Amino acid sequence: MEIIKSPEEMHAWARARALSGKTISLVPTMGFFHEGHLSLMRMAAKQCDLVVVSLFVNPTQFGPNEDLDRYPRDFERDMALVQQEKVAAVFAPTPDLMYPQGFQTQVSVANLTTHLCGQSRPGHFAGVTTVVSKLFNIIQPEVAVFGEKDFQQLAIIRRMARDLNIPVKIVSHPIVREADGLAMSSRNTNLNPANRAAALSLSTALQLARERVGQGVRSVAELTKILEAHILSFSGTAIDYVSFVDFETLEPMTVAEARTVLALAVRIDGKVRLIDNGFVIPQAVG
| Enzyme catalytic residues | 37
Q: What is the bridge-based pairing of β-strands 143-147 and 89-91? A: unpaired
The residues facing 237 across adjacent strands are 268
Residue 173: its H or E element = strand 169-173
Question: Cβ(112)–Cβ(140) under 8 Å?
Answer: no
> Is the backbone of residue 107 left (phi > 0), alpha (psi -120 to 50) or beta?
beta
Question: Helices 193-214 and 220-232 meet at what angle, rounded to 10?
Answer: 160
Residue type, 151: F
Pairing relation of β-strands 272-279 and 260-268? antiparallel
Contact 213, 56 (CB under 8 A): no
Q: How far is CA 221 from the centre of its chain?
A: 27
C-alpha distances out from residue 225 to 72, 124, 209, 212, 276, Å: 34, 28, 11, 12, 18
Q: Report yes or no: 153 and 159 within 8 Å, Cβ to Cβ.
A: no
205 near 230, Cβ under 8 Å?
A: yes
User: For residues 70, 201, 221 and 262, what is the CA-based torsion angle, rounded to 10 degrees?
Assistant: 70
Query: How far is CA 181 from each of CA 148, 202, 211, 235, 283, rounded to the nearest angstrom?
Result: 15, 9, 16, 18, 19
